[in-house]
A and B are shown apart, each in its own frame.
Chain A
Amino acid sequence: MSDTNTPPETGPFLARDRLWHPQAFTPGYKTSVLRSPQRALLSFNNTLSEMTGPVFGHSILGELDNDLIHNFAKPGESAIGPRIIVHGRVLDERARPVPGVLIEFWQANAGGRYRHKKEGYVAALDPNFGGCGRAISAADGSYSFRTVKPGPYPWPNGVNDWRPAHIHYSIFGSGFAQRLITQMYFEGDPLIPLCPIVKTIKDPAAIEQLTAALDMSMTIPMDATAYKFDIVLRGRRSTLFENRLEGN
């Protein structure tokens, strides 16, 4: 090893549990049929190429980047829909906060309509809602944003498939191998167990991990309810019996 002075946050990542994640080939979700590799993945221990990754400074953030109610709205106006705060922490698998990571989110409006040229759902666009936001996790791993609760959305998979209300998340870590995209669902939504995309995940506990809880402790009275959504990124491997003791 050439990295005798490597600080602890630079070690290899814990292997992904690919039976916990959805498999590539999940025919209930039709588009996966032709977009799933059929050969086995090539496994190898992380090199520097996987252990390093881009980090984004707070300088990229605009004042309203984590306020989807206002970041696309005309001055003095705001998006229509149930006002919510989404907050949580970014942790690693060893339960340590992950600070300084970029989180991007996107979603449909309150009626389930996305602001995208390829989207043809009859529900109306909200002229004051764009649907994108971003934040950088704080020193304790926490993040938050405010938005309107997205509506459910029909999609051409089965004849009558509807996505549950959901917010898409893209999360960076400190290494490129931590890169993750997922979706957040809302506690109590009866569409969750019906959804072919949710059902690409086999373990009910993994689905629960993507379901945000209503968090009355963080609501703002007469303003917005709140949901809590923690994100867990891959942890770095302990190196107790490698060539250094730091970080254990």
Chain B
Amino acid sequence: MPQKLDTLKESPSQTAGPYVHIGMTPNFCGIAGVYPVDLGTTMVNAKTIGERITISGRVIDGGGEPLRDCVVEMWQADAAGLYPSPSETRGAADPNFTGWGRCPADGVTGIYRFDTIKPGRVPFPDGRLQAPHISLWIVARGINLGLSTRLYFADEAEANAADPILNRIEHRSRVPTLIAARDGNAYNLDIHLQGPNETVFFDI
């Protein structure tokens, strides 16, 4: 036997289950008085730099039904393309922007919604610029390991065409599954877990 490696195994994932709201958005599910607010409900304030936008959509299962019990989290750069994170080494991000949001799907319509700003461009490891994008993470009953994907913007066609990640998608007909349509300051992206319009999910 060779020497044992000194790496541990990652804790295996389990589904968030149908009552994920108790732990992640207790006020949303009627558990008041434990936390003053649910984390991730407000990403911007009056001083946040950047173009105000709304991101919304639904997460849809393989039977065409929207998930009414999922929670969507998002992570994005500020308007200058800097992440408000200690791991960001290129400069200080906008102190009036959290970069992170969490939204439970509406219990009736299944719609998730974030009020945020449009992100700036962030470099790829080789220095090329990525197109503006938002990282999404979806958990729910029936999802054993959180699903990662990205939202890109339909009005950034030129940047999208040069984006290193979008260019990795072999089946070009699937690229539009990551691109949110624009209507005024609102962007909409439905996420399809399964089926002919299945969203491209990432192993990252």
Contacts and interface: CB of A to CB of B under 8 A. Distances in A.
A179 B15 CA distance: 13
Contact of B12 (A22, A26, A36, A45): A22
A117 B29 contact: yes
B165 A182 contact: no
B144 A106 contact: no
A70 to B, nearest CB: 10
Nearest to A168: B23
B193 A34 contact: yes
Contact of B11 (A14, A64, A180, A235): A180
Contacts of A16: 10, 203
B23 A206 contact: no
Interface stretch (A52-60, A135-143, A217-225): A52-60
A162 interface: no
A245 interface: no
Given A116-B22, A177-B148, A197-B15, A52 B9 contact: no
Given A41-B203, A114-B19, A20 B9 contact: yes
Contacts of B62: 33-36, 38
Nearest to A95: B8
Interface stretch (A2-10, A78-86, A186-194): A2-10
A144 interface: no
B9 A36 contact: no
Interface stretch (B30-38, B46-54, B110-118, B153-161): B30-38
A142 to B, nearest CB: 16
Contacts of A227: none
Contacts of A42: 165, 168-169, 200-203
Contacts of A104: 23-24
A234 B126 CA distance: 23
Interface residues of A, number: 97
A89 to B, nearest CB: 11
B20 A53 contact: no
B135 interface: yes
Contact of B22 (A37, A56, A131, A209): A131
A93 interface: yes
A37 B123 contact: no
A181 B16 contact: yes
B75 to A, nearest CB: 4
A175 to B, nearest CB: 6
Contact of A36 (B21, B34, B165, B194): B194
B12 A3 contact: no
A168 B20 CA distance: 8
B85 A114 contact: no
A53 B14 CA distance: 21
Which residue, B61, B125, B198, has most C-beta atoms of chain A within 10 A? B125
B176 interface: no
Interface string A94-130: 1100000000111100000011111100000000001
B114 to A, nearest CB: 14
B87 interface: yes
Contacts of A2: 90, 123, 127
B106 interface: no
B13 A22 contact: yes
Given A3-B89, A29-B142, A94-B6, 8 more contacts: A37-B201, A47-B125, A50-B204, A54-B85, A94-B8, A118-B107, A177-B204, A200-B14
13 contacts: A2-B127, A24-B145, A26-B144, A34-B194, A35-B143, A35-B193, A41-B203, A46-B204, A47-B124, A116-B21, A116-B22, A170-B24, A232-B9
**When A and B form their complex, which 4 residue pairs have the shortest distance between CB atoms, in order from nearest?**
A106-B23, A31-B142, A35-B142, A54-B100
